[in-house]
Structure 1
């Protein structure tokens, strides 16, 4: 059916904008529900506002853009390009890429059908408001980088994510106590006990603990390349002197399961698909370690009265380790791989030589490990 032509008063006006001849004012009819809004007597302002509103209500406009070959300007298409071409050269860790993938799925759901330059500050702010402060800040930082690249390609006039405000993160997780971790360790399977002991004596992150191999122990040292910071500082390359304390932990890691990894386990059942994606069938996945640690903590019931969000996980073993090193009067900075202000990058692709930071893991963990 051909739409009825507009009367003389409304000719030349954008769709949904009308002139009230009696009052000499303009009014806008919202297409979704027919509700009227008064726009005053200023024709220029009324026309400009109506055009912006019409653009927002044009639900099919983005689909038209796809048909016309403009999909490169769609946010989801640009995000595909960002993920495929811009991230790989950064050589991010597997854990970071996994976290990004979760955020990317959220972005695709939130901004599906939107062109890059259609995404406003308000849209981003509304999405971030629904997230926890930590997740919101992670998403905001990632979106700022995404829109920086989009703006550099001329796909949007500015960076809407940069105009949002960083949220204040209030740390809710408490630290482990010596008695609490001891109780958890007693409820843990042997492989998890080994992981806890390694975390206590080396103060390394979950990712680096699970990546340690027997072949990394050579010439009296355990060599570790921190996956999170290997491109940021000298401290990313650490060699731990195999002290009697560390040797005891390494010896406990050897059992009747043949594995290249210090922390390993025989799966309850081998799944072909999982075996194909893992470096070795005995390797412990990060998520599995986190889940197993939580189960041991719940079985120990060692933090009575603490809220769920206050319960420390495996990551907090590292914090306890640094606390115990400091309490013993030892330097925990080199152990953890924290770079001092004076440190600069020592590793670049054209350099064949790596300078290793030496650490002495000599913490007495017998109070916890027995």
Structure 2
């Protein structure tokens, strides 16, 4: 049976029974085809009827499976197969896998117990409806791929997720202003100031900045393998020339804390956490929270709504804007594809062709 959506109106109701707040009545959704039936205003009677119907539908499905010699495969069961067999060969970045994990949890909570071949378009549409446009589209994309693989294995006759309509996503976050980021930087601890400076001058993503190590700086270059594109794009292999501007930032990263990472901090307790190979490593979530704290303390965007507030990620957009304003090529340093790099597809990683770029943006106006 399909669990009810998690909202106050349906709290305490059995699966497939819903409260219609507009009419003040209860209604039952038949799990076999998604058809609705009005159950009136009596809560107790509606719950009793729903319990009996759910038991009947479950018993009927079990008897059919027994007669046909079939084993029911729930959506949750197939998601397990999807995670174990289908995702690993794609070699997705950890951040992407974490996102999949969040969406899998939501999908399992709403539809996991339902036999995968009994899931209808309407069920999926009702699951996606209350989600934000971004979350809804992410979940829809995952479900579409899941049902594509399920259909290829003969578990479902078609792909109901593909028939749902994606939502229109309106970009809400605004970009940083020069003065705004300058004020945020003043309120940030030293390690976060270094992260801001590196983001500005290299235009790299949050995860790639946090993965940069001192050993990656050699022979006058900072070598960066972009985690988001190294498996999917030939432009993810960057050889960034250590210009005087970048050298100044790298110098500020060296302090009394011994760490292999350019961006590091001394935590309150020395404890190696999951996903970390060194106790001084800063993880993405901590960086995001620390940046938000510094931004809120700076109070630089007071007139903006919460959803409009730019985070650490938006520093990359400001960096590319400043490169363009200075008449420099920001696209290449960002790791965008170039014709010269297509040879990487035909080479072993040991012989990879690195895309040489210069990080020569003057960030003195912000970094001082």
State the TM-score, normalizing by the size of structure 1: 0.81
Does residue 179 (structure 1) correspond to residue 179 (structure 2)? The answer is yes
Q: Cα offset for 1:110?
A: 1.1
Task: Work out whether 1:214 is the aligned partner of 2:214.
Answer: yes
1:319 to 317, 320, 327: 317
State whether residues 231 and 345 of structure 1, in contact with CA within 8 Å, keep that contact through their aligned partners in structure 2.
no
**Residue 167 of structure 1, CA deviation:** 1.0
Alpha-carbon deviations, 1:206-258, whole Å to 9, x = none? 00000000000001100000000112222110010000000000000000000
The 5-angstrom pairing of residues 178-197 of structure 1 reads 178-197=178-197
Task: Give the equivalent residue in structure 1 for 2:158.
Answer: 158
Contact 2:332 2:338 (8 Å CA) reproduced: no
Residues 270-320 of structure 1 show CA distances to partners (whole Å, capped at 9, x for unaligned) of 345x2x541110000100000000000000000121000000000000000
Q: Secondary structure in 2 aligned to 1:117?
A: helix
SS at match of 2:345: coil
2:57 is the alignment partner of 1:58: yes
Distance 1:175 1:33, change over 3 A: closer
2:292 counterpart residue number: 294
Describe the shift of the 1:104–1:341 C-alpha distance in structure 2 as closer, same or farther (beyond 3 A): farther
Q: Which residue of 2 aligns with 1:364?
A: 362
- Kindly tell me: are residues 101 and 35 of structure 1, through their superposed partners in 2, closer, same or farther at Cα, counting changes over 3 Å? closer
Equivalent-residue separation in structure 2 for 1:66 and 1:176 (angstroms) = 58
Structure 1 spans left out of the alignment, 5+ residues: 1-29, 37-53
**In structure 1, C-alpha distance between the alignment counterparts of 2:308 and 2:39, rounded to whole Å:** 49
Summarize the Cα distance change of 1:128–1:263 in structure 2 as closer, same or farther, 3 Å threshold: same
Structure 1 match to 2:3: none
Q: Are residue 143 (structure 1) and residue 143 (structure 2) matched?
A: yes
2:87 aligns to what? 87
Residue 258 and residue 342 in structure 1: after superposition, are their counterparts in 2 closer, same or farther (change >3 A)?
A: closer
Contact preservation (8 Å) 1:226, 1:236 = yes
Structure 1 CA distance for aligned equivalents of residues 268 and 61 of structure 2: 49
CA shift digits 1:116-145 (9 cap, x unpaired): 111111111111111111111111111111
Specify the alignment match of 1:125 in structure 2: 125
2-structure distance, mates of 1:345, 1:119: 45
Q: Which position in structure 2 is the counterpart of 1:333? A: 331
Equivalenced residues, count: 322
SS where residue 149 of structure 1 aligns?
A: helix
- Structure 2 portions without partners, runs of 5+: 1-29, 41-52
Is 1:309 the counterpart of 2:297? The answer is no
Q: Note the aligned Cα RMSD (angstroms).
A: 2.7
Q: CA deviation at 1:173?
A: 0.3
Could you say if the C-alpha distance between residues 66 and 222 of structure 1 is closer, same or farther in structure 2, counting changes exceeding 3 Å?
Answer: farther
1:15 counterpart residue number: none
- 255-264 vs 121-130, which moves further: 121-130
- Report deviation, 1:66: 9.2
Per-residue Cα deviation, 1:47-86 (whole angstroms, up to 9, x for no partner): xxxxxxx899614556678999955622111110110111
> Is the alpha carbon distance of 1:235 and 1:76 closer, same or farther for their aligned partners in structure 2, counting shifts above 3 Å?
same
Q: Is the 8 A contact 1:232 1:345 kept in 2?
A: no
Q: Does 1:251 align with 2:248?
A: no
The secondary structure found in structure 1 opposite 2:263 is: coil
Between 159-168 and 338-347, the greater mean CA deviation after superposition: 338-347
Name the SS for the 1:240 alignment partner.
strand
Deviation readout 1:305-351 (Å, 9 max, x if unpaired) = 10000000000000000000000010000110111488647236856
> Hey, what's the Cα distance between the residues in 2 that align with 1:61 and 1:220?
71
| Cα distance change on mapping 1:33 and 1:242 into 2, 3 Å | closer
Contact 2:343 2:353 in 1 (8 A): no
Q: Matched residue of 1:104: which SS?
A: helix
The CA distance in 2 between the partners of 1:162 and 1:33, in whole Å, is 27
Counterpart of 1:278 (choices 263, 272, 276) is: 276
CA–CA distance in 1 between the matches of 2:108 and 2:196? 38
